[in-house]
Amino acid sequence: MQSQHSNNYEDDQDDYGWPDEEDKEQVSYHHQFDNDEKRQLEKVQKLVELLGCSQDQGIAIMRFFKWNMDKLQNEWFSNERRLGIKMGIEFDNDLSKKFPLTMQSLAHNNQGYCMICYGQFSQKNKQDNMSCGHQFCQEDWRSYLSQKVNEGFQAVQSKCPQHLCNMVVPHSYFVKYLQKEDMKTYMKWFCKAYTDDNKNVRWCPYSGCDYCVEYQDYGESDVSCKCGNSFCFKCGSESHRPCDCKQTETWKNKNSAESENITWIMANTKQCPECRKPIEKNQGCNHMTCKMCSYEFCWLCQGKWSEHGQKTGGYYNCNKYEELKSKGDVKISKDETSRQAAKNELDRYMFYFERFNNHDKAEKHARSLRPVIKAKIQLLHEIKKYPPSELDFLDEAINEVIKCRQVLKYTYVYGYYLKNQKELNLFQFLQEDLEKNCDYLHELIEKPLDPYLDTNIVDRSTFYHFKGQLINYYQVTRKVRLSS
Amino acid sequence: MVDNGRIMKELKELQEATKNVITTSYQQQSNPITLQSPTQQVQASIVGDNLRHWTGTIFGPKDTCFEGGIFKIDIEIPGEYPFKPPKMRFITKIWHPNISSQTGAICLDILKNEWTPALTIRTALISLQALLCAPEPDDPQDAEVARQYKSDKKLYEYTAKMWTENFAKEQTVDDKVKKLMEMGFPEDICKEALERYDNDENLALNFLLGG
């Protein structure tokens, strides 16, 4: 049932792919439901043909080299035997000299007894052994492997039940002995081992997402997961373009180190510039309307919203931050200068942090809006009979807003670390452009869709007008995002 | 999975081994020159009539701070045995980096993740004995002991010996007399005091000091 559901979901998602954007070779799949084991076994099969080994050995070799074929080809052929012992597919004969106990359960030592249950081998109680030769009765193999599987994902690395024996229990033994429920658990671990070990596979970092992405080139690049989110394949955290991983890491550390101060400085509320009532921002854009006095203002600079029209040189002029000019005319002592510099630096940081945080919050709002929009699409389809293909634009728009917010968020990190003045000007121009478009788009999509649901209104032109507007802005925003 | 057959067999083997020790030491006793304590052996017996609760005994290995000590170990056998390791804990107090000086909890890999069903109670006890020979202060159970072991080995050895002396040895009356005499009391008075307090060393000492 669950698997069915997840597949449907994927099909939906496929329709809204962004093919022109991420055209590199990448595969996103659900690690349990999308035949993960098949992917593994196909790769193993290639190795089996190459080396002429068994499938069990192929799995062990692949795991040892963490599914990296290049490394495998470099190292395996020069050192087959030593590596075979190391990865547990060839018995280490030296053990018998060092630890005589290891030999106890071998056929010529065990006197027909199983060293686990101490029962005698017989027709009923048959023995079985891996290539190391340690014999145990079949019932005990079953109990042993079942125990291991229920202990956790390390089960795939289980060794022969004989103490100190280096042989790894092959895949086929689990398949042979495990029963229904245990087998299910084992396959879960089997798939997990692949995803965990393989450097070309990463889990989607978004909570509640069970997908992973397989990607061949693990440089710094964004991949998009089937859940609709995208993340950086190199560091495995959310997309942070235009910053690189290192900058992002530094920024995050800086935030966590100073965040207590910062959050203390800016609580989540601001006072209305007109009536001084504290206001909490709970929607995505900067256009605030005070509920008490209906005063409209900009959340960031707290200036009048009317001044933010296009006439006055763009909505977001307040975002340009110019460093405070140091007071050169007064003679300031050395202490004073350094204090001033520290203060300027903190101001600068706060400027960028505040805006980073702002977009982060907006991004979260947009994310929470996504399911609402989905439901609305469904309603529009059911009540007003719009074909689904005519409604896709809503979903595309909200996804675009999320992506834009993500990019914008990190443009402030990028800006914070950007020291070159010329580049900074150009960068700020682009940033402003994107911000303007994104905010407008965000505001459009946040407007309630309910009027379009009214069955009494037959005229669809308002809806189509809205749609046209939204699509237009969606496309503009997208263009701006991709160009910057 | 609950398999008493194996436990019964293990117990029988251990008891036979113990019997052998007794006979050998008896033979050895007849020849006083080669008289030796059976240090390499371990023993175990069942507590009450619960087949899954045992008491193990290991003898302090020669040339260590634990030489001459007799250490009792509480052994609980879980239902999943032998697929899960037995739970072991020192009853006798012991000063060792890998054994808690408070609770007797043991830090030993084969009693945790390195356990395999082909091991037995007997092999586990022998491993414990080996642990007494070779402490691993880098993987400690008792941080205080481990710190002492690493910073002041002499003090560690002294403490460990004292603990062995005080907690892990059955003392004969003669030993006790000797101890009291070392404190400066005459032999006959010491003997008398011990006799009076049923060989309780502490009460006898109190009496000597008070009287």
Which residues in chain A touch residue B9, judged by CB atoms under 8 angstroms apart? Answer: 118
Indicate if B191 and B97 belong to the same structural domain: no
- Asked if the C-beta of A138 comes within 8 angstroms of chain B's C-beta atoms, the answer is no
Could A147 and B123 be called an inter-chain contact, meaning their C-beta atoms sit closer than 8 Å?
Answer: no
Instruction: Compute how many other C-beta atoms are within 10 angstroms of the C-beta atom of residue A8.
Output: 10
Which among B75, B82, B6 has a CA at the least distance from the CA of A147? B82
- How many domains does chain B fold into? 2
- Probe site for chain A from B6, B110, B111, B120 (most A CB atoms < 10 A): B6
Could B123 and A161 be called an inter-chain contact, meaning their C-beta atoms sit closer than 8 Å?
Answer: no
3-state SS string for B121-187: HHHHHHHHHHHHHCCCCCCCCCHHHHHHHHHCHHHHHHHHHHHHHHHCCCCCHHHHHHHHHHCCCCH
pLDDT digit string, tens, across residues B143-192 = 889 889 989 999 999 999 989 988 888 777 777 788 778 888 888 888 88
pLDDT band at residue B75 using 50, 70 and 90 as cut-offs: very high
Which among A257, A194, A195, A202 has a CA at the least distance from the CA of A235? A202
Which among A402, A394, A403, A398 has a CA at the least distance from the CA of A376? A394
The contacts of residue A272 (CB under 8 Å, 6+ apart) are A278, A279, A290, A292, A293, A295, A297
C-alpha dist (Å) from residue A376 to A380, A382, A383, A387, A391: 6, 10, 10, 13, 10
Q: Which of B5, B116, B123 sits opposite A161 (nearest CB)?
A: B116
pLDDT digit string, tens, across residues B51-73 = 889 999 888 888 889 988 889 99
What positions of A carry a catalytic annotation?
Answer: 285
Could A163 and B82 be called an inter-chain contact, meaning their C-beta atoms sit closer than 8 Å?
Answer: no
Q: Which of B1, B80, B118 sits opposite A163 (nearest CB)?
A: B118
Q: Strands, E, within A290-373: which ranges?
A: 296-298
- Asked if the C-beta of A177 comes within 8 angstroms of chain B's C-beta atoms, the answer is no
Contact assessment for residue A475 and residue A397, using Cβ atoms and an 8 Å cutoff: no
Nearest-Cα residue of chain B relative to residue A162:
B118
Nearest-Cα residue of chain A relative to residue B80:
A147
Q: Which of A104, A116, A119 sits opposite B117 (nearest CB)?
A: A116
Could A163 and B9 be called an inter-chain contact, meaning their C-beta atoms sit closer than 8 Å?
Answer: no
The phi, psi pair for B45, rounded to 5°, reads: -145, 160
Which among A204, A192, A114 has a CA at the least distance from the CA of A154? A192
C-alpha B90/C-alpha B113 separation (Å) is: 19
- Asked if the C-beta of A356 comes within 8 angstroms of chain B's C-beta atoms, the answer is no
Identify residue A300 by its one-letter amino acid code. Answer: L
Could A116 and B110 be called an inter-chain contact, meaning their C-beta atoms sit closer than 8 Å?
Answer: no
Mean pLDDT of B205-209: 82
3-state SS string for A417-460: HCCCHHHHHHHHHHHHHHHHHHHHHHHHHHCCCHHHHCCCCCCC
Counting as low any pLDDT under 50, the low residues of chain A are: 1-24, 263-265, 267, 311-314, 317, 320-332
Indicate if B159 and B203 belong to the same structural domain: no
Indicate if B89 and B15 belong to the same structural domain: yes
Which among A331, A385, A357 has a CA at the least distance from the CA of A268? A357
The terminus-to-terminus CA distance of chain A in angstroms comes to 43
Give the CA angle between residues B1, B2, B8 to the nearest 5°: 125
Could A161 and B110 be called an inter-chain contact, meaning their C-beta atoms sit closer than 8 Å?
Answer: no
pLDDT digit string, tens, across residues B99-116 = 998 899 998 888 988 898
Indicate if B79 and B11 belong to the same structural domain: yes
The contacts of residue A359 (CB under 8 Å, 6+ apart) are A405, A406, A408, A409, A412
For chain A, domain boundaries: 1-28+199-239, 32-90, 91-178, 245-483
Could A147 and B84 be called an inter-chain contact, meaning their C-beta atoms sit closer than 8 Å?
Answer: yes
Indicate if B179 and B150 belong to the same structural domain: no
Indicate if B149 and B180 belong to the same structural domain: no
Handedness of CA A48, A53, A59, A65 (dihedral sign): negative
Could A161 and B80 be called an inter-chain contact, meaning their C-beta atoms sit closer than 8 Å?
Answer: no
Could A144 and B83 be called an inter-chain contact, meaning their C-beta atoms sit closer than 8 Å?
Answer: yes
* Min Cα separation A130/chain B (Å): 15
Pick one of 2.160.10.10, 1.20.120.1750, 3.40.50.2300, 3.40.50.11890 as the CATH number of A245-483: 1.20.120.1750
**pLDDT for position B41:** 73
C-alpha A458/C-alpha A28 separation (Å) is: 42
Contact assessment for residue A312 and residue A321, using Cβ atoms and an 8 Å cutoff: no
Indicate if B96 and B112 belong to the same structural domain: yes
Contact assessment for residue B8 and residue B51, using Cβ atoms and an 8 Å cutoff: yes
Nearest-Cα residue of chain B relative to residue A103:
B118
The contacts of residue A194 (CB under 8 Å, 6+ apart) are A36, A39, A40, A67, A201
* Min Cα separation B154/chain A (Å): 33
The arrangement of secondary structure in A91-178, i.e. its CATH architecture, is 2-Layer Sandwich (3.30)
- Asked if the C-beta of A43 comes within 8 angstroms of chain B's C-beta atoms, the answer is no
- Asked if the C-beta of A163 comes within 8 angstroms of chain B's C-beta atoms, the answer is yes
- Provide the number of CB pairs (under 8 Å) joining chain A to chain B: 41
B192: containing domain: 173-210
* Min Cα separation B4/chain A (Å): 9
CATH of the domain at B91: 3.10.110.10
Q: Which of A101, A118, A134 sits opposite B5 (nearest CB)?
A: A118
Indicate if B97 and B193 belong to the same structural domain: no
Q: Which of A117, A143, A163 sits opposite B119 (nearest CB)?
A: A163
Which residues in chain A touch residue B123, judged by CB atoms under 8 angstroms apart? Answer: 101, 163
* Min Cα separation B8/chain A (Å): 10
The residue to which tokens 């495990």 are assigned? A178
Contact assessment for residue A374 and residue A395, using Cβ atoms and an 8 Å cutoff: yes
Indicate if B138 and B206 belong to the same structural domain: no
- Asked if the C-beta of A277 comes within 8 angstroms of chain B's C-beta atoms, the answer is no
**pLDDT for position A465:** 67
Q: Strands, E, within B60-102: which ranges?
A: 70-76, 87-90
Indicate if B101 and B126 belong to the same structural domain: yes
Could A162 and B10 be called an inter-chain contact, meaning their C-beta atoms sit closer than 8 Å?
Answer: no
- Probe site for chain A from B1, B11, B13, B80 (most A CB atoms < 10 A): B1
Indicate if B22 and B92 belong to the same structural domain: yes
Identify residue B117 by its one-letter amino acid code. Answer: P
Indicate if B161 and B177 belong to the same structural domain: no
* Min Cα separation A40/chain B (Å): 28
- Asked if the C-beta of A140 comes within 8 angstroms of chain B's C-beta atoms, the answer is yes
C-alpha B5/C-alpha B41 separation (Å) is: 24
Could A118 and B9 be called an inter-chain contact, meaning their C-beta atoms sit closer than 8 Å?
Answer: yes
* Min Cα separation A100/chain B (Å): 13
* Min Cα separation A135/chain B (Å): 10
Nearest-Cα residue of chain B relative to residue A165:
B116
Could A159 and B6 be called an inter-chain contact, meaning their C-beta atoms sit closer than 8 Å?
Answer: no
ipTM score = 0.71
